[in-house]
Amino acid sequence: MRKLVRIVPISIGMLILLMAMSPALASSTGPTVKILGDNSVKINQKVVSSYHFGPGTIHVRPGGMVTFDNTGRCSVPFDCTHTISIVDDSQLPVDAAQVFACLFDFPGTVCAPISDAHFPHGPGGPVNPAVNVTGQPSGFRGANSFLINHGQTLDIIITAPTGTSIHYLCAIHPWMQGAIVVGQDTTNTE
């Protein structure tokens, strides 16, 4: 009986410690945005990317946490890294020409300074996982743009006040766009 009295508190303590250290087991304090989709190709016909943030629009309270989940399917490993970058809604690409200009980091697009900040030495060089891109809005604690690799989840604290709409995109795949409405309602919408 004495062994049981010692084992139970130790087991409970270990479980609490494990939950605190493991994001997969610990409960989130806010909504989750999943990075969904994949790439496919039909040679001489089309390339299709169905990457997107789901849901596309979420609601969160000021100071709340949003979890971004990049653990879904990934058939092209080098193409499963994404950015979560706050931009002014007027800078979001809205048509194919703007998406491709952003995709190729043409000067004057919102994607060029974001890519330069995360990849200062170009592709294959060292990366900066969290950056404050000059001239872009704020609303996340710690940075206004984050990299998330495949297999990762990322918890971001929302610092924007009630009444703010945070618009974000992936600067690597600029058709991936989402919005966070900061207020009292925590319902998620698509």
Read off the pLDDT band of 154 (50, 70, 90): very high
Query: Average pLDDT of 149-153?
Result: 96
Query: Which residues, in sequence order, are CB contacts of 80 under 8 Å at separation 6+?
Result: 70, 74, 149, 150
pTM: 0.82
Rounded Cα–Cα distance for residues 114 and 119 (Å): 8
Domain parsing of the chain, residue ranges? 28-182
Assess if CATH 2.60.40.420 describes domain 28-182: yes
Q: Is the peptide bond before 62 cis (omega within 30 degrees of 0)?
A: no
* Cα atoms in the Cβ-side hemisphere of radius 13 Å centred on 51: 26
Predicted local confidence at residue 123, as pLDDT: 81
Instruction: State the Cα–Cα distance between residues 106 and 86, nearest whole angstrom.
Output: 18
- pLDDT, tens digit, 9 for 90 and up, residues 8-59: 343 334 333 333 333 333 345 789 999 999 998 999 999 999 999 999 999 9
- pLDDT of 90 > 80? The answer is yes
Averaged pLDDT score across all residues of the chain: 86
What is the reported pLDDT for 189? 59
